[in-house]
Structure 1
Amino acid sequence: MTKNIKYTWILSLLILFSSCSKLDLKPTDTIDAEKAYRNMNDINLGLTGVYAQLDYALVGINAIISDEVMLPAENTVSNTDAHRWLYTADNGSVTAPYYSYYVAIDRTNRVLAGLDKITVAAADVATRDRYRGELLALRAFCHFELLRMYGSAYQSGALGVPYMKASVISYPARDRFEVVAADAKADLLAAKALIPSSFDDKTRVTKIAVSAMQARLALYEKNWTEAITYASEVISSMPLATADQFPDIWTDANDQEVIWKLKRVGDDEKIGDLFYRQASKIVLYAPSFKLINSFDQVNDIRYKAYIKFDNTRGEKKSAYLVNKYPGTALAPGLADIKMFRTGEMYLIKAEAEAESTGDAAGDLNALRAARIKDYVPVVFAGKDDLINAVYTERFKELAFEGHRFFDLKRRNLPVQRLPEDAINTSGAIRLLPTQAQYSLPIPALEISVNKNTVQNPNY
């Protein structure tokens, strides 16, 4: 053994023994809950960080891959693979929310862990409990949104997503649909008991917002009794906006019938830019003619609130624009994101009634009467007629709010675009439930790193 090799070998042993003697030290690149969360103010900051992580990704995905929008020729600046159904597991336009929602979930679990470790004064117990309720509700909400996006189907036995109840480094397998639904229901029940009825900040999760989450979850479970119960709780507490109030919801001039919204304040949070690029005046995605034609354009107050017609934009420019998030003159396109509204609750209740009691006409007609001038109530021929009418109304009422693609998937229906809505999509007119893209892919990186997960069918 040469002199240099011998010294190198001895030095290596010293380093090894030194390292082994320090394995009980806490890592220096993380902050444990005891240090990060020391008081109620820290907890509130962490909770605010969870809300801040949520965005309008679901609005964009539902519009772009469904039949809500069409691709105008003027859009030569954005990635249109998602609209053409060319996405794969490597396509960030459909896989990015997988990571962003799990970041929100991880933040939630870290704050919950911190909350468990702090001691609060008697005067702060109610606030502590409310924070816990908000966190549990947010954890349920995020997992359910992931399930809507990445679940292989909305039925028992179908591949869902991992339900993470703690911030740990692991290789979680995909929980089945019914497991995710059950865990989310448990978190929502616990949350509801912790949030006081007097708490009414619509930019945060309130008790009535938990009821709205429960109603939506029950709808996807096909638990018609719970869907009716929870939707009714919301309807009785939060009336529909009047015809005069409704258009102002989308400019944030009022928040009538808004149950929960995400407050948007900065230029990088402009939901209007999803459809219309303000700086360059380019329509990225225009309302589909299928959607436009579904409205009574004269009497339905939703038409002008959702869709703008401007035939002065010039040749080869779309005359139709999404008008649902116009913002203000000082901040065009900047508007709060409406997560739950009473209008959705009427439709949840109507669908659940149509599927169970058969008595959906009253709720459906009540919603239409609030939206359509001089509306005459309709008598429906039977269950199928009622359910088809509910889905048509969801198409109109909830346009550009993050539901259309999921609604079609709930009924195992194809995405069917009109020929005039597909002139720039290279023939992407019909997406069948048997095609891979009918379910969004789990990100390729997740598949390659997590040895216990699997991809959705056909990818």
Structure 2
Amino acid sequence: MKKNIHYILLGLLICSCNRYLETNFDGSVSDENVWTNPTYAEGVLLNAYEAMPTNFGWENHSLMDCATDNATTNDYGSLLYQNGTGGWRSDNNNLGHWDNWYKQIEYINMWIKYGQDAKYYLSDHLLNSEIKTRLNGEARFLRAWYYWRLLQAYAGPVGGEMMGVPIYRSPIEGDITNGNAIKRATYEEVVDFILEDCNKAIELLPEEYDGNDHVVGQTHIGRATSIVAMALKTRVLLYASSPAFNVKDWSDVAKASLVMLSKTRTSLPWISWNNLDNYYNVHNHKEIIMRKFDRNNTFFKQNFPPSSQGEGRTSPSQNLAEAFFGNDGYPIDHPNSNYDPQHPYDNVSSRFKGAIVYNNSEFKNRTIETYIGGFDTQEQHLNATRTGYYLRKWISTKASAEELDASVGLHYYAIFRYGEVFLNLAESINEWVGPDVPVSFGGVSMSAKEAIIEIRRRANIKDTRYVDEVAAMGKDAFRALIHRERRVELCFEGHRFWDIRRWNAPLSTTIKGVRITKNEEGEFQYDYPNVEERHFSEYQRFGPIPFNQVVLGLEQNDGW
């Protein structure tokens, strides 16, 4: 166990002026000193927080949507590009981090076993007990989080039975033989284990951190709360109830979501669409349930357009652009839509502007030029958009990528936010009872239609006629609307890749872009060429178990 804990504590040993810990000759820390010192015992859990993602970049700051119909990447050497164009193999899978996630689970299990031996507040027995209770709740949430990531990335059928990943309820502590003897649990068994930890975290954790209290004061903002654990619970239940897995009931998702909203909010907080930095860069925005802080401008430099000294890594697709609703609330192909194909960006919605940088739009006080011959094109720059669009969502305009002004933009990464919870609620209620029937639980009553109307209201779409029209057509039509709303509301947040898989939706598609010609009168003409083929075999609805684990005896998912 000493070697397991050594690397977590190494930085603390270097930085600390406290000589309480005495290191062994090999640089490791003795078991007794680790688990009786509150700073270092708690540091085991803080390491698990630290390992959570700090931005939406996946590989070289291209977003995961680049392996879906939402976007492409211009990073042709990346595994993300290879995986999305037919080259996904079990030996080049970068869509999960098996070793790192299980390493975090081992650390968390060690804390659960040993970490409560520490005295976290020596002079007050009651405070010490309260701190341990909170830390125990945090440990349960963190273990649930990492098991959820493993399940999302590696679950799949084996001989037709849906399997999950190995469950370790206690630390291995170097006993590799015993560790390797534990085989894959079923998908439902892993879901139940995650829900068990979520429920325990909900029981032990405060709803928020506020004030100056030593145990639950605002100095602990960023740690797990009971509300964060509820958000994870709704996400896990949503997947488990979906067609690809179908081991839980849609009513479970609806009830869990309504209970969460009963303790938080039944309407969505406003987002200032004209000043997105007030959302992306403010740590306490009411939309965000849990966030990670990042102050590294590499993500921005990689995704800025060339006119802002960027690399344009993520290119939103025309497919995604056409999925957005207009500012009148109608899809662009609806007979009542105000969409003008000669001026396709005249009536776009606030969400469109908040997600996509398009030709002739303003970004960082510059006019974007993606027409043929324009500055922000591959004719002028090797690393430019492949589709005619650039990423706007999650981009801080306060950051700079210029060599003479390498300022860093404050940035918060939303791990959970309320928009997702409302979409989880809408999808589950519609599948359970249809679009118009209100469901009451936990003191809150809402229908699937009302949840979608709230999502659209926050997006500046106040006209409900289209939603009413689709709801009147029944559950199947409203399901398609919910899927579309989820696509545009949660684009570039890592959901699309997994959503199309859990829905059993088609995996392969043709990615389109926009080609814009500027004539002598300064007017633009548009056509929409194919840019890239998204190739996935049906067995690739589920990811592969890592090769090194198959060698050790774990069964591989079917097809791999």
Q: Give the conservation status (yes or no) of the 8 Å contact 1:259–1:341.
A: yes
The one of 315, 329, 332 aligned to 2:399: 329
CA distance in 2, matches of 1:272, 1:382: 43
- Alignment TM-score, normalising by the size of structure 2: 0.69
Asked if the contact 1:144/1:184 (under 8 Å) is kept, the reply is yes
- Give the drift of 1:243: 4.0
Given the superposition, is the C-alpha separation of residues 225 and 438 from structure 1 closer, same or farther in structure 2, using an over 3 Å criterion?
closer
Counterpart pick for 1:174 among 177, 184, 187: 184
In the TM superposition, what are the counterparts of 1:134-149 in structure 2 within 5 Å?
Answer: 134-149=138-153
Partner of 1:431: 536
Q: Distance in 1 between matches of 2:102 and 2:56?
A: 14
Counterpart position of 2:352: 303
Segments of 5+ residues of structure 1 without an aligned counterpart are: 1-25
Change (3 A) 1:276 1:87: farther
Return the offset for 1:193: 0.9
C-alpha contact 2:67 2:83 (8 A) present in aligned 1: yes
Instruction: Confirm or deny that 1:341 pairs with 2:412.
Output: no
- In structure 1, which of residues 33, 46, 49 is the aligned counterpart of residue 47 of structure 2? 49
Of 225, 230, 236, which aligns to 2:251?
A: 225
Q: Is 1:313 aligned to residue 383 of structure 2? A: no
Matched AA of 2:236: L
SS across alignment from 2:36:
coil
Residue 353 of structure 1 deviates from its aligned partner by 0.6
Give CA deviations for 1:27-56 in whole Å, capped at 9, x if unaligned: 978656433222332233222111111126
Aligned amino acid, residue 457 of structure 1: D
Give the C-alpha shift of residue 57 in structure 1: 8.5
- 1:190 aligned residue: 200
Q: Can you give the 5+ residue segments of structure 2 that lack an aligned partner in the other structure?
A: 1-23, 211-219, 242-248, 327-344, 359-367, 370-374, 401-406, 438-447, 514-528
2:230 equivalent in structure 1: 211
Judged with a 3 Å threshold, the aligned counterparts in structure 2 of structure 1 residues 242 and 114 are, in CA distance, closer, same or farther, namely same
How do 1:58-457 residues align onto structure 2 when only pairs under 5 Å count? 60=58, 62-72=64-74, 75-76=75-76, 78-79=78-79, 80-95=81-96, 97-119=97-119, 121-152=125-156, 157-168=161-172, 169=176, 170-171=179-180, 172-199=182-209, 202-222=221-241, 223-236=249-262, 237-238=264-265, 239-244=267-272, 247=276, 248-252=278-282, 255-266=285-296, 270-272=298-300, 275=303, 281-295=310-324, 296=326, 298=347, 300-309=349-358, 310-311=368-369, 312-316=375-379, 317-318=384-385, 319-327=388-396, 328-329=398-399, 331=407, 335-358=411-434, 359=437, 360-377=448-465, 378-379=467-468, 380=471, 381-420=473-512, 423=530, 425=532, 428-432=533-537, 434-435=538-539, 437-448=540-551, 450-451=552-553, 453-457=554-558
2:41 counterpart SS class? helix
What amino acid does structure 2 have at the position aligned with 1:284? R
Q: CA deviation at 1:167?
A: 2.2
Higher strand share: 2
- Provide, for residues 398-433 of structure 1, a one-character-per-residue CA deviation record: whole Å limited to 9, x for no partner: 1111111211111111224334259554xx33535x
Looking at structure 1, the residues matched to 476 and 302 of structure 2 have their Cα atoms a distance apart, in angstroms, of 35
Pairwise CA distance, 1:232: 1.9
Q: Tell me how far 1:272 sits from its aligned partner.
A: 4.1
**Partner AA of 2:197 in structure 1:** D
Q: Quick one: distance in 2 between partners of 1:193 and 1:391?
A: 32
Superposed displacement of residue 128, structure 1: 1.1
Distance 2:287 2:92 in 1: 36
SS of 1:336's equivalent in the other structure is strand
The offset of 1:333, in angstroms, is: 6.7
Tell me which moved more, 235-244 or 283-292: 235-244
Q: Which shows bigger deviation, 245-254 or 321-330?
A: 245-254
1:153/1:285 CA distance change after superposition, 3 Å: farther
Deviation track 1:80-106 (CA, whole Å, cap 9, x = no partner) reads: 2122131212215234x2222222222
Counterpart of 2:451, as a letter, is D
Task: Assess, with a 3 A threshold, how the Cα gap between structure 1 residues 77 and 406 changes in structure 2: closer, same or farther.
Answer: closer
Q: Secondary structure at the match of 1:446?
A: helix
Q: How many residue pairs get matched?
A: 422
Moved more, 204-213 or 366-375: 366-375
Residue 27 to residue 383, structure 1, CA distance change in 2 (3 Å)? farther
Residue pair 2:68, 2:534 contacting (<8 A) in 1 also: no
Q: Which has the higher contact order (CA 8 A, sep 6+)?
A: 1
Find the aligned partners of 2:115 and 2:209 in 1 and give their Cα distance.
20
Q: 1:293 to 1:206 in 2, by over 3 A?
A: same
AA in 2 matched with 1:215: T
Give the 3 Å change call, closer, same or farther, for CA 53–251 of structure 1 in structure 2.
Answer: same
Going from structure 1 to structure 2, the CA distance change for 1:32 and 1:394 (only over 3 Å counts) comes to: farther
Give the deviation of 1:387 after TM superposition.
1.0
Letter matched to residue 94 of structure 1:
L
SS at match of 2:252: helix
Bigger fraction of residues in helix? 1
- Partner Cα distance (1:349, 1:197) in 2: 20
Q: Residue 250 of structure 1: CA displacement?
A: 2.1
Measured after TM superposition, the shift of residue 137 of structure 1 is 0.7
Q: What do the CA deviations read for 1:256-284 (whole angstroms, capped 9, x no partner)?
A: 210011222345xx544675599972222
User: What's the secondary structure of 1:356's corresponding residue?
Assistant: helix
Alpha-carbon distance change, 123 to 406 in structure 1, aligned in 2, over 3 angstroms: same
For 1:415, what is the secondary structure of its paired residue? coil
Distance 1:392 1:85 in 2: 25
Q: Which letter does structure 1 place at the counterpart of 2:82?
A: D
Match of 2:19 in 1: none
State the identity %: 22
Distance 2:56 2:192 in 1: 22
- Offset from partner CA, 1:195-237 (integer Å, 9 cap, x none): 1234365522111111111111111222322211221233341
Q: CA RMSD in A?
A: 3.0
Deviation digits for residues 352-390 of structure 1, max 9, x if unmatched? 110112131111111111113443242211000111111
Cα-to-partner distance string for 1:98-129 (whole Å, 9 max, x where unaligned): 22222222221222223233355322211111
